[in-house]
């Protein structure tokens, strides 16, 4: 985080989704994020530029609106060039794509199943 970055609370309707966002958003994905926000709180910030346009967090914004949240936490990144913003949008989505260590994942899911929690909140199920 740069010293110039600001974290603020803002009304979701004041945020402007990026009109050319190449990442698709399904209703199912929005529902899953909404469930996560409802159960765990808003733990990942939406990142915006100085004009309130979303850089990162389009699905979180859609989920917040679905839940009727009055305000959301955002990080204002007003020190980036338009090119840097485009790069960040793509990198954020691309970096999240990775494979799983199947053995360690199985251990974590097994512990959660023993604790009898709702696995759907993790994006996984018993299968």
Tens digit of each residue's pLDDT (9 = 90 or more) over 49-76 = 999 999 999 999 999 999 999 999 999 9
Average pLDDT estimate for 73-98: 84
Instruction: Give me the half-sphere count of Cα atoms (radius 13 Å) on the Cβ side of residue 114.
Output: 6
Q: For residues 102 and 31, is the Cβ–Cβ distance under 8 A? A: no
Tens digit of each residue's pLDDT (9 = 90 or more) over 6-44 = 999 999 999 999 998 878 888 999 999 999 999 999 899
Q: In whole angstroms, how far apart are CA 98 and each of 40, 58, 93, 94, 104? A: 23, 20, 11, 9, 15
Which pLDDT value is given to residue 68? 97
83 belongs to a structural domain: yes
- CA–CA gap between residue 124 and residue 118 (Å, rounded): 9
Q: Are residues 73 and 17 in the same domain?
A: yes
Which pLDDT value is given to residue 105? 84
User: Is residue 29 exposed (0-12), middle (13-18) or buried (19+ Cβ within 10 Å)?
Assistant: middle
1 belongs to a structural domain: no
Q: Are residues 103 and 85 in the same domain?
A: no
Rounded to whole angstroms, the maximal C-alpha distance in the chain is 49
Q: Which has the minimum average pLDDT: 46-50, 74-78, 110-114, 121-125?
A: 121-125
Average pLDDT estimate for 88-99: 74
| Domain total of the chain | 2
Q: Are residues 88 and 112 in the same domain?
A: no
Q: Are residues 108 and 80 in the same domain?
A: no
Q: Are residues 12 and 57 in the same domain?
A: yes
- C-alpha angle with apex 29: 26 to 31, nearest 5 degrees? 110
Residue 107 has pLDDT above 90, yes or no: no
Which pLDDT value is given to residue 98? 63
Q: Are residues 126 and 70 in the same domain?
A: no
Cα-Cα-Cα-Cα torsion 110, 112, 115, 121, nearest 10 degrees, comes to -140
């Amino acid at each position: 985080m740069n010293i110039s970055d600001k974290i603020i609370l803002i009304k979701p309707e004041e945020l402007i989704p990026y009109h050319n966002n190449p990442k698709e958003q399904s209703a199912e994905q929005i529902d899953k994020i909404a469930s996560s926000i409802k159960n765990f709180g808003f733990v990942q910030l939406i990142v915006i530029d100085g004009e309130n346009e979303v850089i990162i967090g389009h699905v979180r914004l859609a989920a917040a609106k679905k839940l009727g949240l009055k305000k959301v936490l955002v990080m204002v990144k007003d020190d980036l060039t338009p090119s840097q913003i485009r790069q960040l949008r793509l990198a954020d989505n691309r970096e999240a794509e990775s494979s799983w260590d199947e053995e360690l994942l199985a251990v974590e899911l097994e512990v959660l199943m023993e604790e009898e929690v709702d696995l759907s909140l993790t994006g996984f199920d018993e299968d």
